[in-house]
Structure formats: C-alpha cells, structure tokens
C-alpha cells in the first residue's frame, strides 16, 4: 500500500465518522500489515506514544480549568475586566476580550473559554443592549486567544509531537496572544463608534478597587502559571501542578464551592477529556512513525520547493493549507497529522520550530471559528440559543483582525521569538 492510499483511507474513515483515534490507528494498521510488517509495531507505538512526561501536563491543565469554572472564578474575572475597561466605547466588547486574556492565562482550551466565560459574556452584553451578532462574534473570536497565551493544550501536543521545548513554546505565545487581543479591541472600538454602542459609566477607582480585591485571589492563577513559565521557574508540568494545587485551595478553603460531589464530577470530566486526547496522541504516534519512516516530509518538501523557492510564497502556501485543513479537522488531530509533514519543510526554509508552532496553532484556532467543524461556534450556538448558521455569519468579520495578526506573526518572527530567546538562552 502506498502513502497516498494511507491518507485516502484515513480521510475516508474520518469523514464517515469513525473516531479520530481509531481512524489514525486503523489506517496505520492496514498500511503496516499490507507492507508485510508485524502488527505488533502498531500497538507498541501507540502505547509508547503516550509514555511521555510532558503529556502529564494535559490532565493537570484540564483539571485546573474545570476547578476554576466550578469555583465561580469566571464571574469574578468578568467583573474585574468590566471595572477596568467597561468605561471605554463599546465597553462590554472590550471587557469580553480582556476577560478572555485573563482566562487564557488559566485555561488551555478555546472551547472551555467559550463554554464558561462565553455564557456570562453574551448574557451581560444582551442585557446591556448590544446586538446578538456582535456579542456572539466577539465572544467567539476572543476565545481563540486562550490556546495562544500559556497554558495551552494544543502547544503541549505540538511540543510533544515535534520534540520542541514546551517551556519555550509557552513563552513564545504570550506576546502573540496579547497582539490578538489588541487587534480585536481595535475592531470593537471601530464597531462601537459606528454603531454607537453603550458603555458603562466613567472609570471609577472605588469600583475598580472593589473588583480588584474581589478578584485578587483568582488573578493570582494566571500570574503563577504565566509568570512561572515565562520566567523559567516552572516547567509546564510543574506550572500545571501548581495551578491545580492553587485552584483546589481556592475551591476548598477560600470559596468552599467544592465538595466531594463536584470533585468527582470534575475528575470524571478531566479523565474523559484527557483520555480522548491521549488516544489521538497514541494513534498519531504510529501514524507519524510511518510518515517519518517513508520520508513523506522530504517528498512534500521536494514538491513544494520544486514549485517555488521563495520563502514567503512557501509560508503562504503552508498557511493556506493549514487554514483549509483546520476548517475540517479537530485541532489535536490536525496537529498530530500535520506536524510530521509540515515541520521539516518549515525548518528547511529556516523557520524555528517554536515560531512555527505558534503560527500553526493560531492558524488552527481560526478553524474553530469556521464551518463546517467550528467547535467554538457549536458551543456558543448552544449556550446562546443562536442558530449555528447565524453564529458563523456573526463571527466572520472578526476573522479579519485575527488573520491580520496571523500574517504579522508569520512574517515577523520576533513577536514570537523575542521572549523565549530572552528567557531560555
């Protein structure tokens, strides 16, 4: 069986709704067996594909996110962001972005952001008289900041699959995440002026102070995680452990919102999500092994370099390719399939794997905002009772600033690389 058939089988299985992990595992199995190799290789690779210490960060970050949501911390963060930027034109739009930035420093998944904060944000914006489309659009767009600012599940997976330092990747994501927030705030400001959106009363220090006091303990979480990782005090796994310990302290001791029942609930949810991610990582280990053993990346590079040798053109082709694939494929699956093919090409034209990771993940995040497989849109459609199709249309304008940031990050490596080279020398 040829590599082309392997891909055809994989996509065939994916399209008819076979679980991603099974599609990867089964197509690899068929390839291995038809090429006369023992099937033991498949299972050996699968099991050892998750035998990796950095992956332990995954359940911890997921657990920390769940604990934060349960402890009612999201509301405090929203209130804090509101006291800080609510007075601006289109105040709640800015609040939406600001809260997502803070939440991004605690959670590693865009979907968690949309599901937890999104609910509060859309409700508050509707109550204040914003039109639904704007509310849904900005909520969807701002939730993609989550996996760019550390911690980030997609970056952990990328780091493991590409054998890149996750600490460096995390440090690299901070500035790009803030750039995304900045670009979205410009967009909000523009809309607010044109449509004359409401705002809260002028900035009042007393209100800000009250919200700050109320949110101080939760706000320590992003400071511990992001600060710890960016300064190199914590490895990503250690930061994840610290985040869990701290959020359990908040939930059990300070706010007393956690009991055995909710602990059981968050544990089970964490296990389920961890398992479904790890199964994909496991199955992609064998798939990646086949791609590497057959030098698929080399052939792809040859094909691409035969077409053009211009670095910018190649980057644009890769970006376009990832954008299209990101529209159809779930993030984790896309990372595990794309990295073994694309990363060697990127490295060959002189792109740092850390830089490439950031643009790849941001690129895939845009796929969460587009049909047909837009996870963030599915979630928002559910929490806001707005039909999926309308969510798609509402979010589309916000893709403009995000794509602009993507291009900026692609062609100016310094935005991603400055911080990690400063910290990890």
Interface with other proteins, residue 244, by CB under 8 A:
yes
State how far the Cα of 64 lies from the Cα of 159, in Å rounded to an integer.
Answer: 20
Shortest distance in whole angstroms from residue 298 CB to other proteins:
29
Contact with other proteins (CB under 8 A) among 134, 197, 246, 356: 197
User: In this complex, which beta carbon is closest to other proteins, that of residue 274 or of residue 416?
Assistant: 274
Contact with other proteins (CB under 8 A) among 1, 3, 89, 189: 89
169 in the Ramachandran plot: left (φ > 0), alpha (ψ -120 to 50) or beta?
alpha
Rounded to the nearest 5°, which phi and psi values hold at 257? -90, -10
Interface with other proteins, residue 26, by CB under 8 A:
yes
Q: Contact region for other proteins (CB under 8 A) — 11-19, 157-165, 222-230, 334-342?
A: 11-19
* Contacts of other proteins in 357-396 (CB under 8 A): 371-373, 375, 378-379, 381-382
Tallying the residues shown for the chain, one arrives at 425
* Contacts of other proteins in 148-167 (CB under 8 A): none
Collapse the DSSP code of 159 into the 3-class scheme (helix H, G, I; strand E, B; otherwise coil) and give the result: helix
Interface with other proteins, residue 128, by CB under 8 A:
yes
Rounded to the nearest 5°, which phi and psi values hold at 330? -70, 150
State how far the Cα of 31 lies from the Cα of 294, in Å rounded to an integer.
Answer: 12
* Contacts of other proteins in 331-360 (CB under 8 A): 332-333
Contact with other proteins (CB under 8 A) among 4, 36, 129, 253: 129
User: In this complex, which beta carbon is closest to other proteins, that of residue 214 or of residue 407?
Assistant: 214
For residue 383, CA distances in Å to 139, 291, 366, 386, 387 come to: 11, 40, 20, 8, 11
Interface with other proteins, residue 75, by CB under 8 A:
yes
Interface with other proteins, residue 20, by CB under 8 A:
yes
Shortest distance in whole angstroms from residue 165 CB to other proteins:
17
User: In this complex, which beta carbon is closest to other proteins, that of residue 275 or of residue 414?
Assistant: 275
Structural tokens at position 307: 């077409």
User: In this complex, which beta carbon is closest to other proteins, that of residue 41 or of residue 399?
Assistant: 41
User: In this complex, which beta carbon is closest to other proteins, that of residue 109 or of residue 354?
Assistant: 109
Q: Which residues contact 89 (CB under 8 A, 6 or more apart)?
A: 189, 192, 193, 197, 199
Q: End-to-end CA distance of the chain, in Å?
A: 45
Interface with other proteins, residue 216, by CB under 8 A:
no
What torsion do the CA atoms of 285, 105, 419, 350 make, to the nearest 10 degrees?
30
Interface with other proteins, residue 279, by CB under 8 A:
yes
Rg, C-alpha atoms of the chain: 22
Binding residues with other proteins: total (CB under 8 A): 95
């Amino acid at each position: 069986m040829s590599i082309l058939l392997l891909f055809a089988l994989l996509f065939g299985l994916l399209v008819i709704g076979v679980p991603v992990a099974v599609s990867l595992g089964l197509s690899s199995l068929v390839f291995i067996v038809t090429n006369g190799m023992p099937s033991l290789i498949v299972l050996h690779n699968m099991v050892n594909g998750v035998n990796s210490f950095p992956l332990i960060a995954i359940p911890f970050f997921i657990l920390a996110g769940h604990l934060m949501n349960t402890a009612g911390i999201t509301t405090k963060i929203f209130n804090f962001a509101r006291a800080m930027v609510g007075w601006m034109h289109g105040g709640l739009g800015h609040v939406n972005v600001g809260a997502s930035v803070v939440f991004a420093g605690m959670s590693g998944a865009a979907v968690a952001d949309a599901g937890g904060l999104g609910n509060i944000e859309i409700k508050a914006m509707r109550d204040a008289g914003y039109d639904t489309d704007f509310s849904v659009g900005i909520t969807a767009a701002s939730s993609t900041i989550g996996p760019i600012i550390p911690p980030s599940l997609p970056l952990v997976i990328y780091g493991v699959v590409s054998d890149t330092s996750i600490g460096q990747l995390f440090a690299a994501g901070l500035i790009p995440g803030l750039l995304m927030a900045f670009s979205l705030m410009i967009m909000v400001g523009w809309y607010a002026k044109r449509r004359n959106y409401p705002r809260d009363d002028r900035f009042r220090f007393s209100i800000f102070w009250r919200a700050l006091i109320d949110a101080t303990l939760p706000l320590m979480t992003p400071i511990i995680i992001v600060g710890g990782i960016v300064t190199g005090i914590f490895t990503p796994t250690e930061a994840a452990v610290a985040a869990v310990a701290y959020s359990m302290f908040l939930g059990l001791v300070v706010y007393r919102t956690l009991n055995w029942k909710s602990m059981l609930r968050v544990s089970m949810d964490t296990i389920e999500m961890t398992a479904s991610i790890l199964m994909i990582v496991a199955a992609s280990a064998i798939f990646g092994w086949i791609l590497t053993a057959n030098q698929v990346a080399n052939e792809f590079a040859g094909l691409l370099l035969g077409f053009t040798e211009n670095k910018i053109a190649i980057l644009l082709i890769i970006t376009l390719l990832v954008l299209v694939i990101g529209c159809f494929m779930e993030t984790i699956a896309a990372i595990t399939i794309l990295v073994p093919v694309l990363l060697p090409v990127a490295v060959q034209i002189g792109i740092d794997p850390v830089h490439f990771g950031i643009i790849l993940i941001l690129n895939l995040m845009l796929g969460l905002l587009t049909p047909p497989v837009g996870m963030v849109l599915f979630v928002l459609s559910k929490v806001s009772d707005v039909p999926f199709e309308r969510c798609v249309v509402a979010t589309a304008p916000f893709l403009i600033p995000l794509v602009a940031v993507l291009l900026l990050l692609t062609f100016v490596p310094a935005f991603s690389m400055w911080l990690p080279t400063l910290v990890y020398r």
